[in-house]
Amino acid sequence: MSDAAVTRLPFTADNLLAARRQVLVLASRAGVLPQRAADLKLALHEILTNSVRHGGGGGVLRVWVEEAMLICEVSDRGHVRDMLAGRRPPALDAEGGRGLWLAHQLCDLVQLSSSPAGTIVRLHCRIESGRIESGRDGSGGVESGRAGAGAETDPVDAGRAPTHPMHRAHPTHPAEISGAWPPARPAPHC
């Protein structure tokens, strides 16, 4: 686990734009290339919108840097019953089902964990080697105190990446099922 601080951003339909903008700021500070940051912003928009529509009207976005990856974790009270959601292309005539699929196309790794208690989606975006900026705390991570309006450091999460029991109860990645979690170098989705 990283020693980087975790930026915590509660969101609802009223502040989705601010949350997306904040992630762009954090991505830039972390050293994510501009095109990759734009991809992450679009993927995040889809996941945040899904949370508002299907996950109880909002949730919590957490952002941190770990092992040359910017990770955006979206948690809400919704429940995804199809654990392969987003891994198969949606039908051309389907009215929905494109958000998770699009996130899989735009991010280096997407993790989905869901139970009746809620859903967590993690979007991983690789940081170009050598571009990770150190915050004032010297951790090499994104410093929450400089994240901007609406961002807060969760005292429970400060100094470590968040974990959630649902990740162990519902493995969704082949490496997690085999016990080798997290994977050392996730393959990018092209």
Low-confidence ranges of the chain (pLDDT < 50): 1-3, 132-187, 189-190
Q: Is residue 119 part of a domain?
A: yes
What are residue 64's DSSP bridge partners?
71
pLDDT, tens digit, 9 for 90 and up, residues 120-136:
999 999 998 555 444 43
Q: Measured between alpha carbons, how far is 79 from 164 in angstroms, rounded to an integer? A: 15
Q: Looking at the 3D structure of the chain, how many domains does it have? A: 1
Q: 188 lies in a domain?
A: no
CATH of the domain at 14: 3.30.565.10
Distances (CA, A) of 97 to 1, 22, 28, 128: 32, 26, 29, 30
The domain in which residue 147 lies consists of: 7-178
What tens digit of pLDDT does each residue of 17-39 get?
999 999 999 999 999 999 999 99
Does a structural domain hold residue 186? no
Q: Is 126 inside any structural domain?
A: yes
